[in-house]
A and B are shown apart, each in its own frame.
Chain A
Amino acid sequence: MSAVTKIFHARQSMGRTVRGPALVARDGFSARYDLDRVAGIFSRPAHKLAGQSYVGKILVLDTAKGGVATAWMLHEMKSRGIVPLALVFNSVNPILAQGAALGDVPMLAGFDEDITSAIPNGADVEVNPQRGVLTVVE
């Protein structure tokens, strides 16, 4: 059995419950600007996760950046299985919410603390949108 170590409450939530490894950085997110969606890695050289794979990871990032393309791209990425498992952000914009809704990618946003500082990179985390809760599991 896993022991629950810490719980964080989100003000905004959407989607199914999932569990997986967290990929954490204090940086933004745009599917168009930041990703090589074929290779499944962050590709913008200035991004703090440049070169790292996002596939099957629970992305813990600061905020949504850039344009409207993410609203389609999460759905397209999901269709090929080259997609993050869930999105956990300090704040999101409408595009990310619209994209998560179409692409069926679970999402949490809006915490009382900086979630990118609170979650260790690589931690095993559970995203529970029904309860609006992010849990770090050990």
Chain B
Amino acid sequence: MRLDGEEQEILAGKLGPVRQHALQHQMMVGAFFGAEDFVPVTQAHIMADTESLGEAGVRWLEGLAAAEESQRQVRIPTITDPRGTDFAKAAFLGHTPSMLDLEERTIVAFVKLGVIMTNTCINYQTIQAPARNEHVAFGDTGVVIYSNSICGARSNYEGGPSALAAGLTGRTPRYGFHLPQQRRATMHIRVEFTPASLNEWGALGGVIGRIAGNYWQVPAIEGIEGAPRSDQLKHFGAAMASFGSIAMFHIVGLTPEAEELGDVAQAGLPGHRVTRADVDALQRSYHSDDRVDVVVFSAPQLSLYELRDLADLCAGQQFKVPLLAVTSPQVKPDSDRMGYTRRIEDAGGTVLSGMCFYQSYAREIAEARGWKRLATNSAKLVNILGGYGYQPMLASMQACVDAAVTGKLS
């Protein structure tokens, strides 16, 4: 890779060993993907739940945090994805002291590194959405696909170590979605059904993600009617990213780089048709039981509007099975202030903050609480939780609330 003067100084260790190691890590990844140079980035977003880090990852972070203060601080605004617990509700979740200890150590290390503990996977709704053509280093696949596709910003999937490296060096290797040519469509999807509910938007994203199949594919989608809302696009993108490892899509006439199909696609791209039957089939494929042990709204964290809708559905209800709603630390105080949290919890639900269900020791929660059959309106969550020993089922927010009341998913 071609290095500028400052990068050569970092590599030589003149700015300390932490930044030196960060740049070396970035150069390994950059060389792997054929990056010619680095590109400056303005924000970084770190996925670092302790279930993923483990003791080894936390020690690695603590090693960086032990460096001299001037040498260990991030150089650009660097924020965090959800944590592995909500400390206020850890007993309810069955989280053990050793899990909480790992979390606390991680937070101490990140604070020493100058990282802002936002603990959110919806930073584009709550902290600061990136602007068009802004180069960023974001973790969380849902954040990256939304930022690339809806905002027109430029990011690859940056896992925790790489996002932190970008925060420390202020740059990232220029490959993938930082390059204009990688942002052009590789396939054409004709959608014959415009969803209404969030679970349907997620299921549609899942169907397209499965068709697209890998990170380097960019679907150009036509046939969406009207203008979807941010929450709908959030579930759509998060599911597409989860099912297909997709980092960018275009919706012709809606997303900023694709006013017309010709802006992003050449003639003769491989074409696919997606119908309502495909969306229904994906949802049905998860319906394995009529009974549920737990209802979870999470992945991505809920916006204030989603919590308002949920609170309306919960008003006056009494739940037979636990219902969890997970949001960000930015949204939770507003949910409290508007009375949404109280309406959900008066019905027997629990509103959690700063975590995400699948990033919070989901397997251990299942064992501690005896939860297996799980209903959710998140297509991303059903895709993930099968590997954690759950029987996840996908249904509308209304059907999930009804399931919490009756214990049965109709």
Contacts and interface: CB of A to CB of B under 8 A. Distances in A.
Contact of A76 (B29, B54, B175): B54
Interface string A30-74: 101111100000011111000000000000000111111111110
Interface in B359-409: 359, 363, 383-384, 386-389
Interface in A12-37: 12-14, 28, 30, 32-36
Contact of B160 (A12, A34, A71): A71
B157 interface: yes
Interface string A68-111: 11111101101110000000000111110111011000010000
Interface string B141-182: 100000000000000111111100000000000011000000
Nearest to B175: A94
Nearest to A15: B28
A52 to B, nearest CB: 14
Interface stretch (B212-220, B272-280, B331-339): B212-220
B65 interface: no
Given A33-B384, A93-B215, A94-B215, A67 B389 contact: no
Instruction: Give the contact-size bracket for chain A.
Output: 35 or more
B175 to A, nearest CB: 8
B255 interface: no
A67 B387 contact: no
A47 B25 CA distance: 31
A76 B56 contact: yes
B398 to A, nearest CB: 28
Nearest to B216: A91
Interface stretch (B10-18, B45-53, B191-199, B313-321): B45-53
Given A76-B54, A79-B55, A67 B161 contact: no
Interface residues of B, number: 47
B60 A75 contact: yes
B176 A94 contact: yes
A94 B243 CA distance: 16
B387 A44 contact: yes
Nearest to A46: B386
Contacts of B383: 33, 66
B29 A97 contact: yes
Given A63-B213, A91-B215, A94-B215, A68 B139 contact: yes
Q: Is the interface of B mostly helix, strand, loop or mixed?
A: helix
Given A68-B157, A68-B159, A32 B25 contact: no
Contact of A102 (B158, B161, B241): B161
Given A32-B387, A76-B57, A91-B215, A98 B162 contact: yes
Contacts of A91: 214-216
Contact of B56 (A33, A69, A79): A79
A98 B386 contact: no
Contact of B158 (A68, A69, A72, A78): A68
Contacts of A97: 29, 32-33
Interface string B22-53: 00010011001110000000000001110111
A27 B55 CA distance: 30
A94 B29 contact: yes
B140 A71 contact: no
A98 B159 contact: yes
B57 A72 contact: yes
A72 B241 contact: no
Nearest to B142: A67
B313 to A, nearest CB: 29
Contacts of A44: 386-387
Contacts of B214: 63-64, 91, 93
Q: Which of B52, B53, B389 has the largest number of chain A CB atoms within 10 A?
A: B52
A112 to B, nearest CB: 16
B73 interface: no
Contacts of A32: 52, 358, 384, 387
Interface string B118-147: 000000000000000000000111000000
B159 A99 contact: yes
B382 to A, nearest CB: 11
B56 A101 contact: no
B85 interface: no
Contact of A66 (B47, B49, B384): B384
A94 B157 contact: yes
A65 B384 CA distance: 11
Those 4 A-B pairs whose CB atoms lie nearest each other, nearest first: A71-B159, A79-B56, A76-B54, A93-B215
Interface of B: 25, 28-29, 32-34, 47-49, 51-57, 60, 139-141, 156-162, 175-176, 213-216, 241-242, 244-245, 247, 358-359, 363, 383-384, 386-389
27 contacts: A33-B386, A35-B387, A45-B386, A46-B386, A64-B214, A66-B141, A67-B47, A68-B141, A68-B159, A72-B47, A72-B54, A72-B160, A75-B56, A76-B56, A80-B54, A91-B214, A93-B215, A93-B245, A94-B162, A94-B176, A97-B32, A98-B159, A98-B161, A98-B162, A102-B60, A102-B161, A107-B32
